[in-house]
């Protein structure tokens, strides 16, 4: 499962289960790989069909380039594969890769948000 939370208020979930948390106000996109695990193709699919689609600024003046956006990622190959980075830079997205072995310190959502969600999910199962 690839969870995404945006400082701009965009919430999304990419998972192989249909209908998980999607509403009109909270879009969700769904894909899966043949293996069931995140791979480079899904990484590109995510940045093209979800991140770029939902974070591209609207209402910019004609002949004005869109504003740059930042996508914070860990070092998983699906986030740093060349097609993903190339697409990001071509579309004014700065991929910011967190230092290795530091995500537990630099991703507070893992502790504050996703950990309780995981516990509730396991309890419900």
Q: Please, are residues 79 and 43 in contact by the beta-carbon 8 Å criterion? A: yes
Distance between CA atoms of residues 44 and 65, nearest Å: 23
Domain extent at residue 37 = 2-124
Lowest mean pLDDT among 86-90, 94-98, 109-113, 114-118: 109-113
Tell me the average pLDDT across 35-46. 85
**Is the model's pLDDT at 8 over the cut of 60?**
no
pLDDT of 77 reads 84
Number of domains in the chain: 1
Give the angle subtended at the CA of 106 by the CAs of 105 and 110, to the nearest 5°. 80
Q: Please, are residues 40 and 77 in contact by the beta-carbon 8 Å criterion? A: yes
Both structure tokens of 16: 């192989």
What is this structure's pTM? 0.65
- In Å, what is the CA distance from 25 to each residue of 11, 17, 28, 54, 58? 9, 19, 10, 12, 17
């Amino acid at each position: 499962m690839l969870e995404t939370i945006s400082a701009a208020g965009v919430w999304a979930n990419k998972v192989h289960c249909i209908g998980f948390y999607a509403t009109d106000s909270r879009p969700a996109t769904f894909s899966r790989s043949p293996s069931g695990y995140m791979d480079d193709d899904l990484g590109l699919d995510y940045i093209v069909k979800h991140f770029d689609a939902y974070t591209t600024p609207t209402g910019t003046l004609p002949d004005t380039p869109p504003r740059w956006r930042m996508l914070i990622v860990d070092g998983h190959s699906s986030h740093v594969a060349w097609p993903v980075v190339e697409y990001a830079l071509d579309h004014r997205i700065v991929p910011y890769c967190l230092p290795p072995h530091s995500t537990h310190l630099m991703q507070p959502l893992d502790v504050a948000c996703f950990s309780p969600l995981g516990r509730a999910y396991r309890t419900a199962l």
